[in-house]
Amino acid sequence: MMDLIAKATIQIQKPVDEVFEGIVNPEKMTNYFISESSGRMETGAELTWQFPEFPDAFAVKVIKAEANRLVSFNWDEESTVNIVLEAQPDQSTVVSVTEGGKPYNEENLKWLIGNTEGWANFLACMKAYLEYGIQLRKGAFDFMRKK
């Protein structure tokens, strides 16, 4: 049986170097995804991420950060996230995210649905921020905070 892989793709109307910087630079990423990071996403970095709607910190191990092409990391022992950037002739960038490697079972099927939705949201928020300076995530998940 095949492993489960969450996938999402979007085209951002910005050059690949700006999109890459938007992913690896915590000062940019905190405007559309996380609330804080302990550092830049660089090959071998071990970071801690915080999200505005969750009290827990998440350990992130950067496997590889290849300028303007790829960011690969783990934040869960069973899966790897790959963010692949593809420069387009019109100076836009296609961004594809995959996260996977989990075996097929009921619990992981729920994970797949949630993470596919999550990565699609990540991409939409990144597009809004990088193209228009809009912070779509701000207040969007306040309902998820533990009361």
Domains of the chain, CATH where assigned: 4-142 (3.30.530.20)
| DSSP structure class, residue 52 | T
pLDDT at 23: 98
What pLDDT, on the 0 to 100 scale, is given for residue 68?
98
Q: Which two tokens stand for residue 5?
A: 């892989």
Q: Looking at residue 1, what is its pLDDT?
A: 65
d(CA 75, CA 50): 12
Q: Are 68 and 55 in contact (CB under 8 A)?
A: no
Q: What is the mean pLDDT of residues 30-57?
A: 94
Secondary structure class of 58 (helix, strand, coil): strand
Q: How does pLDDT run across 65-77, given as a tens digit for each residue? A: 999 999 999 998 8
pTM for the whole thing? 0.93
Q: Tell me: the pLDDT tens digits for 80-126?
A: 999 999 999 999 999 999 999 899 999 999 999 999 999 999 999 99
